[in-house]
Amino acid sequence: MSYELSHLDALEAEAIHIMREVAAELERPVLLFSGGKDSIVLLRLAEKAFRPARFPFPVMHVDTGHNFPEVIEFRDRLVSEIGERLIVASVQESIDKGRAVEETGPRASRNRLQTVTLLDAIEEHGFDAAFGGARRDEERARAKERIFSFRDDFGQWDPKAQRPELWQLYNGRVRKGEHVRVFPISNWTELDVWQYIERERLQLPPIYFAHEREVFARDGMLYAASEFVELLDGEEVFTETVRYRTVGDMTCTGAVASTAATLETVVAEIAATDITERGQTRADDRVTEAAMEDRKREGYF
Amino acid sequence: MGATYASNGKPVDQRIAETELLRFATAGSVDDGKSTLIGRLLHDAKSILADQLAHVKETSERRGDGELNLALLTDGLRAEREQGITIDVAYRSFQTDKRRFIIADCPGHEQYTRNMVTGASTADLSLVLVDARNGLVRQSRRHAAISALLRTPHLVVAINKMDLVDYDQSVYDAIVADFRSWSAGLEFAEATFIPMSALKGDNVVEPSARMPWYDGPTLLHHLETVQIAGDRNLEDWRFPVQWVVRPQNDDRHHDYRGYAGQVAAGVLTPGEEVVVLPSGRTTRLAAIDTMDGPLEQAFPPQSVTLLLEDDLDISRGDLIARADESNPPTVARELEAIVCWMSDAPLRAGGRYALKHTTRAVRAVVEDVDWHLDVETLDRLDNSHGLSLNEIGHVRLRLSAPLAFDPYARNRETGSFILIDEATNDTVGAGLIAAPQD
């Protein structure tokens, strides 16, 4: 017998180890769930870490109110199927309470407002650790972030004052009001995630597969026509066969023209792609060169 | 079966194979060309996608760096881009048909020794960069010495910028000879020397036509083929208990009591007699459980759940080992270790810290600092001042409770610890447990 693990097995074992460390060392963890593929993988890893017992933490979704309805429906079904607790933190409520101010205009997005809702929810529930599905391959600032990423009591990330992370010895110590963001799939790539979804036969929201949708073109990307977006002069709505490569708000997540309607064909497309998922589908990272770094410092996911 | 096609028209394999994972660490000074080398590796291994490449081209032209400055591919934080330096360890992934790679890219400034230690701690292989024009400078020696200290199993010495010495074999030979004589006292499983030019692409991914005198592998070929499966300790059975799985409110699993953790060493087989440390109680391994069903064997680094025959009082921080082990773990309330210090406030005799070892946390008092190392030569120097930031030295610790441990040289997982300052909660030290009478 050869005692070799495949890369997916090694990455899975690392992620399970990380989740158990958090459960053991922190008092009130929460798993942040967006309904996207990365957080769906996180849920499966949590099942692998804690079954046959229930998760020693709840699952929380920060609902912007601009999510795809298919994703919300999927979220509720999946969390109920696996028998775990779901908390929904609402950006609309933050706006109604005056904690956040809605952007206006045709390019308005609630993407940045999520940070307020997230930090409020962390404080309200007293969470001291929050699992996220971020990966180091997504974006340049993420490549330098630790697996246990310390946040001060304003929720801020300081890239120059990160705790050294050696061997598999994680330091999750926090004081009251501080928390750690923990990224168990830091070392996974987009392709690893898709291969894992295929291997584990994980369910995904239907928008990840090719479907007909009313869209409009802006800045070289296709966006879903919806009540949340105003069209600019000259923009027209048309029907296209598309799928989504990432799941965010309807206002800032671009679709990919594709006829890949099965998991196998989607994985094949990802393996052959020549453009990154954020470059292809996320308007939120295009604003400035350091867009993600700025949002992360403020306490974004 | 015919080829399948993605909607962008490219033929693809029906199913992408799962491959082996290799983690490697690089370090180098600002001018060694480390960023260019990593950029070259990613670029020539076709791991850079079109939008990333377009961004780098655009930035290169804007900054007047010429057509394509590969070093920009690895720039992370804004301060780094502004100052043209690297601040922190960055982790990057890429893959080829043969392997999946994770690079720990460590800054080479003197004050960042702690980053080299961090990067080396999880690496299967260290890639040390040498500028062919300058030979073995302080920084390359420091990185090689730290890799040896951290027992990174494999070492590659990349002799870079060969284009600037006219691809001259005598320059390469002199550096190899210098390295061999300098490192005679260091322990590496193996060292591989590769002459290259990251800038021109010689011997990184493509073999060089300009160095016909070199008949060894290219860097990528070596990374793809170096044997790593045998690097882990498969002899001494070690399982630190991480989490106790006890389903509540579930009739089907009413009596389920599982000990979850990651196998640190050895090959675990149900039926074996085991000892739980530090208590010393024994029982048998009944089964190895996972969500996907029971396993016949478990080995590092698998994360599994152990079921034992008897209901013992076992909790997080206990170490389960095989009862008839020929190399049993040491159980003690004091230990000696090499400590790399990572804090501005120095470590001194009398200092108190939290110590995290495997899944167990205890308190530790520094009894004495015996000596520290010249990190370039690994010579032992007399010590009376303790350890300041980035110093590495030999420390004796007394513990608030017994730990079950192994020498680091025997097992990375059960031979390492971190020290935490309980006032700031910062990780301030990395420890490698010494063998008895070392």
Beta bridge partners of B24: B103, B125
Contact B102 A187 (CB under 8 A): yes
Pair A115, A156: CB distance under 8 Å = no
Residue A290's pLDDT is 56
Q: Where does a domain end: B322, B356, B371?
A: B322
Closest approach of B354 to chain A, Cα-based (Å): 11
In chain B, residues with a C-beta closer than 8 Å to the C-beta of A190 are: none
Closest approach of B379 to chain A, Cα-based (Å): 24
Query: For residue range A44-75, what is the model confidence (pLDDT) as tens digits?
Result: 999 999 999 999 999 999 998 888 899 999 99
Task: Tell whether B281 and B336 lie within a shared domain.
Answer: no
Nearest chain B residue to A142 by CA distance is B76
Task: Tell whether B339 and B310 lie within a shared domain.
Answer: no
Closest approach of B275 to chain A, Cα-based (Å): 22
Q: Where does a domain end: B214, B231, B248?
A: B231
Distance CA A122, CA A30 (A): 9
Q: What percent of chain A has pLDDT over 70?
A: 91
Question: Which residue from A5, A162, A166 is facing B430, i.e. has the nearest CB?
Answer: A166
Kindly state whether residue B259 falls inside one of the protein's structural domains: yes
Task: Tell whether B217 and B257 lie within a shared domain.
Answer: no
Residue B3's pLDDT is 39
pLDDT tops 60 at residue B11: no
Task: Tell whether B35 and B148 lie within a shared domain.
Answer: yes
Residue A97's pLDDT is 86
Residue B85's pLDDT is 57
The residues, any chain, with a CB within 8 Å of residue B434's CB and separated by 6 or more, are B335, B336, B337, B338, B394, B407, B408
The residues, any chain, with a CB within 8 Å of residue B251's CB and separated by 6 or more, are none
pLDDT tops 70 at residue B87: no
Closest approach of B212 to chain A, Cα-based (Å): 34
Nearest chain A residue to B299 by CA distance is A3
Distance CA A153, CA A122 (A): 10
Question: Which residue from A171, A192, A293 is facing B78, i.e. has the nearest CB?
Answer: A293
Pair B316, B260: CB distance under 8 Å = no
Kindly state whether residue B438 falls inside one of the protein's structural domains: no
Mean pLDDT of chain A: 88
Determine which of A122-136, A139-153, A206-220, B263-277 has the lowest per-residue pLDDT on average. Answer: A139-153
Beta bridge partners of A222: A217, A255
Question: Which residue from B77, B357, B430 is facing A141, i.e. has the nearest CB?
Answer: B77
Contact B261 A169 (CB under 8 A): no
The residues, any chain, with a CB within 8 Å of residue A81's CB and separated by 6 or more, are none
Determine which of A127-141, B67-81, B190-204, B308-322 has the lowest per-residue pLDDT on average. Answer: B67-81
Query: For residue range B196-241, what is the model confidence (pLDDT) as tens digits?
Result: 999 999 999 999 999 999 999 999 999 999 998 778 889 999 999 9
Task: Tell whether B266 and B394 lie within a shared domain.
Answer: no
Task: Tell whether B85 and B174 lie within a shared domain.
Answer: yes
Contact B303 A159 (CB under 8 A): no
In chain B, residues with a C-beta closer than 8 Å to the C-beta of A10 are: 21, 301
pLDDT tops 60 at residue A283: no
Best of B13, B21, B38, B58 to substitute, by most chain A Cβ atoms within 10 angstroms, is B21
Contact B49 A24 (CB under 8 A): no
Number of inter-chain CB pairs under 8 A, A vs B: 222
More confident: B9 or A105:
A105
In chain B, residues with a C-beta closer than 8 Å to the C-beta of A191 are: 16, 95
Tokens linked to A270: 């990802």
Contact A169 B416 (CB under 8 A): yes
Contact B77 A189 (CB under 8 A): no
In chain B, residues with a C-beta closer than 8 Å to the C-beta of A163 are: 426-427
pLDDT tops 80 at residue A250: yes
Nearest chain A residue to B11 by CA distance is A272
Q: What percent of chain B has pLDDT over 90?
A: 60
The domain of B305 spans 238-322
Task: Tell whether B304 and B420 lie within a shared domain.
Answer: no
Query: For residue range A151-208, what is the model confidence (pLDDT) as tens digits?
Result: 888 888 887 778 999 999 999 999 998 999 999 999 999 889 999 999 999 999 999 9
Outline where DSSP puts E strands in B148-302.
154-160, 191-195, 238-240, 243-245, 258-262, 273-277, 281-289
pLDDT tops 60 at residue A284: no
Pair B104, B74: CB distance under 8 Å = no
In chain A, residues with a C-beta closer than 8 Å to the C-beta of B102 are: 187
Question: Which residue from B11, B88, B243 is facing A144, i.e. has the nearest CB?
Answer: B88
Best of B242, B304, B306, B360 to substitute, by most chain A Cβ atoms within 10 angstroms, is B242
pLDDT tops 60 at residue A296: yes
In chain B, residues with a C-beta closer than 8 Å to the C-beta of A11 are: 21
Best of B255, B425, B433 to substitute, by most chain A Cβ atoms within 10 angstroms, is B425
**Domain tally, chain B:** 3
Grade residue A29 by pLDDT with cuts at 50, 70 and 90: very high
Kindly state whether residue B10 falls inside one of the protein's structural domains: no
Distance CA B251, CA B262 (A): 27
Residue B62's pLDDT is 76
Question: For residue B205, what is the domain's CATH number?
Answer: 3.40.50.300
Query: For residue range B117-151, what is the model confidence (pLDDT) as tens digits?
Result: 999 999 999 999 999 999 998 888 888 889 999 99
Residue B17's pLDDT is 73
Kindly state whether residue B2 falls inside one of the protein's structural domains: no
pLDDT tops 60 at residue A220: yes
Cα dihedral B226, B301, B323, B288 in deg (nearest 10) = -130
Topology adopted by domain A7-192+290-298: Rossmann fold (3.40.50)
Mean pLDDT of chain B: 87
Grade residue A19 by pLDDT with cuts at 50, 70 and 90: very high
Task: Tell whether B49 and B68 lie within a shared domain.
Answer: yes
Kindly state whether residue B5 falls inside one of the protein's structural domains: no
- For the entire predicted model, the pTM comes to 0.91
Q: Where does a domain end: B180, B197, B231?
A: B231
Task: Tell whether B158 and B293 lie within a shared domain.
Answer: no
Task: Tell whether B153 and B299 lie within a shared domain.
Answer: no
| pLDDT (mean) for A110-124 | 87
Residue B134's pLDDT is 92
Task: Tell whether B187 and B272 lie within a shared domain.
Answer: no
- Reported as type and span, the H/E element at residue B121 is helix B113-121
Query: For residue range B32-49, what is the model confidence (pLDDT) as tens digits?
Result: 788 888 888 888 777 777
**Alpha carbon distances (Å) from A290 to A70, A133, A140, A295, B214:** 31, 20, 9, 9, 43
Task: Tell whether B124 and B200 lie within a shared domain.
Answer: yes
In chain B, residues with a C-beta closer than 8 Å to the C-beta of A264 are: 14-15
What does the domain layout of chain A look like in residue ranges? 7-192+290-298, 204-285
Closest approach of A29 to chain B, Cα-based (Å): 15
Question: For residue B376, what is the domain's CATH number?
Answer: 2.40.30.10
Best of A168, A176, A188, A211 to substitute, by most chain B Cβ atoms within 10 angstroms, is A168
Kindly state whether residue B6 falls inside one of the protein's structural domains: no
Kindly state whether residue B7 falls inside one of the protein's structural domains: no
In chain B, residues with a C-beta closer than 8 Å to the C-beta of A137 are: 92-93
Determine which of A106-120, A158-172, B78-92, B128-142 has the lowest per-residue pLDDT on average. Answer: B78-92
Best of B38, B77, B236, B412 to substitute, by most chain A Cβ atoms within 10 angstroms, is B77
Grade residue B13 by pLDDT with cuts at 50, 70 and 90: very low
